[in-house]
Amino acid sequence: MEDTLKVVPTAPAKGIQVTDKAIARIRSAMAKEGISPEQGGLRLGVQGGGCSGLSYNIRFDTQPRERDRVFQFADVRVFVDPKSFIYLHGMILDYQETLMQQGFVFVNPNSTKSCGCGSSFSS
């Protein structure tokens, strides 16, 4: 098992970064969901709630919204709305598979406290 994060070199330093493992998982999930990579992408966001005050929101979207920041990683696009970007800039999205669990992991330098589930944080 690798513990190091491999980041795609074209990712902006203060933008959103996505590891190769996460890109591969996003790509296969988009194909299963029938989301066109030319128009659609993965939407990352933050919303109020969760056990630490804010929670991550991740889903597919068929197209970016007008004010979204769009990050391109090979044939995968990631959409982030302006309010969420305040909390997510500099974040790395990874995908991990262990014997106990599998899923996306948010490595967020803006998080000051997180919960045990990994999907909630405070800044």
Give domain limits for the chain: 17-122
Q: What is the pLDDT along the chain (123 residues), one digit of tens a residue?
A: 455 555 544 444 568 999 999 999 999 999 999 999 899 999 999 988 766 678 889 999 999 999 999 999 999 999 999 999 998 999 999 999 988 889 998 888 877 655 554 444 455
Give the CATH architecture of domain 17-122.
Sandwich (2.60)
Sheet-wide strand order for 92-97: 17-18, 92-97, 102-107
Cα separation, 2 vs 82, in Å, equals: 33
pLDDT at 47: 87
Sheet-wide strand order for 76-80: 69-73, 76-80, 41-48, 54-61, 120-122, 113-114
Contact 40, 27 (CB under 8 A): no
Contact 110, 44 (CB under 8 A): no
For the whole prediction, is pTM greater than 0.85? no
